[in-house]
Structures are given as structure tokens and as C-alpha cells.
């Protein structure tokens, strides 16, 4: 009789929760068979040293004549790419990410007037040779680049997948631990997993910022900037529902 009464109380509690909304992580309820269920959220975090770097850099030029602005930009970008190749950077590791030509307007004149043209050409250099990061920037600037938008350290596809799976495994262990603690606190035994849902898997890259090097060409031999990458963090979150008795 006491057992029936207890199951009835748990069932009523579950119905109330269903009316109010979803069962929150860490809550206990009851399934259709009258067995208690525990809903928890597990999180796993792993980190590793980056094994690739992505450098966004480019050339920005201006001139009253659009053809001159474009020609100057093209010459400097071609020189930049050729200079990068001397470091062992292949064509497959260089990709154009942005190219724009747009007028420069003087809005203080009436009517407003086009006073020149700005040409922007940016490339992405992606390489596994992280130790060359500072040298890549230095050589590019020396060759004619005057824009370094960002330096992002990350993981290649194989390593990223490996760490994602490791983070998910840790999230599973975290969920098991939480469910075990809750079940123990209520004097319940976990029977099986009823439902598992991946909530999120996120990779946090290491960014070294970016900026503009407008005066780079005035320096005959720029010194390579010291850039030290931090660790890459991968996190995963899962939601799990356990059946208990």
C-alpha cells in the first residue's frame, strides 16, 4: 500500500512538471510505468596545443584614379604572395578571402563628390607550420602587405574531430556522476538510459587579434613579431534521462 502511494505521489509530481514545462536537468520525475526518472546535463572539456594557424592579411591602396589604385594593389599583392612562397608556403595554403573596389566620397561637399578609390585585397594563409607565424607576417609586410586582420590558431579536421569525441566522452562521464549522486540521495537505483541528446559541441580557437600596419613599407627590415599560441579548448554538453527504481 505504501509503495502504491509513493508511486502515485511521484506520478502526480511528474504531471505537474509536464504542465509547467519541460523537466529541468537534475530533476526527478516518473515515466509511464511509474518508475522514477532523473534528467541531468553533462559537460566535458578537453584542450590541446593548436596544430595549424590561419593568418588573414592583405593590401589596401588608394588613388584618385581607380586604375592606378588597382594596379598598385595588384603589384603589391603579387609580391606578397611570391614572398610567402619563399618561406615554403604553397599555393594550396593561400586563398583570396576578400576583394573590394569602392569610391571614397567627400560628404562635406555639396553635392557630394568622389575624390578617389580604395582597393582592398585580402588573403588567408593557412599552414601547419605554426613556428613560422611571425616570419609570415614579417615577410608579407616587407613585400607590400599593409593589413593584418587576424591570426587564429586552431586544429585541423582530424584533430578537431578527435577532441570533440573526447569531450563528448567526458560529458557522458559527468552525466553519469550527477545521475548517480542524485539517485543515491533519493535511495534509487539507476536501471537504464531512457534518452540522450547532444546539446552542443564547441571549439574555442585561440585568437591573436589583428590590426593595420599602415607604415610597414617605411621599415626596410621589419622584425618578426613574437606570437605565442595558447591552447585550444573543446567543450561538449549532453542531456540524459535515466530510469530509476
> Which of 154, 179, 210 is at the close of a domain?
154
> Which of 154, 189, 222 is at the close of a domain?
154
| Domain-located, residue 206 | no
Query: 139 and 188: one domain?
Result: no
Q: What is the pLDDT of residues 190-208, one digit of tens each?
A: 999 999 999 999 999 888 7
| Domain count within the chain | 2
Per-residue confidence (pLDDT) for residue 104, from 0 to 100: 95
Report, as an integer, the average pLDDT of 225-235: 85
| Domain-located, residue 159 | no
CA distance 188 to 174: 19
| Domain-located, residue 138 | yes
> Which of 154, 188, 219 is at the close of a domain?
154
| Domain-located, residue 100 | yes
Query: 135 and 88: one domain?
Result: yes
Rounded-to-5 percentages of helix, strand, coil across the chain: 35, 40, 25
Query: 142 and 176: one domain?
Result: no
Query: 64 and 149: one domain?
Result: yes
Report, as an integer, the average pLDDT of 5-11: 40
pTM to 2 decimals? 0.73
Per-residue confidence (pLDDT) for residue 30, from 0 to 100: 54
The answer to whether residue 210 scores a pLDDT higher than 80 is no
Per-residue confidence (pLDDT) for residue 148, from 0 to 100: 92
| Domain-located, residue 76 | yes
| DSSP 8-state class, residue 128 | S
Query: 93 and 36: one domain?
Result: no
Query: 37 and 82: one domain?
Result: no
Q: What is the pLDDT of residues 112-146, one digit of tens each?
A: 899 999 999 999 999 999 999 999 999 999 999 99
Q: Which domain holds residue 120?
A: 52-154
Residues 6+ apart with CB under 8 A from 34: 7, 10, 11
Amino acid at each position: 500500500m505504501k509503495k502504491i502511494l509513493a508511486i502515485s505521489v511521484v506520478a502526480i509530481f511528474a504531471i505537474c512538471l509536464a504542465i509547467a514545462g519541460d523537466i529541468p536537468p537534475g530533476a526527478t520525475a516518473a515515466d509511464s510505468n511509474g518508475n522514477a526518472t532523473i534528467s541531468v546535463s553533462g559537460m566535458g572539456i578537453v584542450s590541446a596545443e593548436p596544430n595549424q594557424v590561419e593568418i588573414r592579411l592583405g593590401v589596401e591602396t588608394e588613388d584618385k584614379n581607380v586604375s592606378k589604385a588597382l594596379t598598385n594593389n595588384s603589384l603589391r599583392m603579387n609580391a606578397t604572395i611570391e614572398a610567402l612562397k619563399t618561406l615554403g608556403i604553397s599555393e594550396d595554403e593561400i586563398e583570396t578571402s576578400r576583394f573590394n573596389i569602392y569610391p571614397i566620397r567627400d560628404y562635406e561637399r555639396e553635392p557630394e563628390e568622389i575624390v578617389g578609390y580604395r582597393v582592398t585585397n585580402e588573403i588567408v594563409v593557412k599552414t601547419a607550420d605554426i613556428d613560422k607565424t611571425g616570419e609570415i607576417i614579417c615577410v608579407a609586410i616587407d613585400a607590400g602587405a599593409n593589413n593584418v586582420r587576424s591570426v587564429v590558431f586552431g586544429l585541423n579536421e582530424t584533430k578537431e574531430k578527435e577532441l570533440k569525441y573526447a569531450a563528448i566522452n567526458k560529458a557522458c562521464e559527468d552525466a553519469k556522476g550527477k545521475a548517480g549522486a542524485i539517485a543515491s540521495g533519493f535511495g534509487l537505483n539507476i536501471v537504464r538510459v531512457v534518452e540522450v541528446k547532444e546539446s552542443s559541441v564547441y571549439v574555442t580557437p585561440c585568437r591573436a587579434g589583428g590590426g593595420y600596419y599602415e607604415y610597414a613599407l617605411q621599415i626596410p627590415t621589419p622584425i618578426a613579431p613574437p606570437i605565442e599560441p595558447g591552447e585550444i579548448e573543446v567543450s561538449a554538453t549532453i542531456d540524459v534521462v535515466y530510469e530509476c527504481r
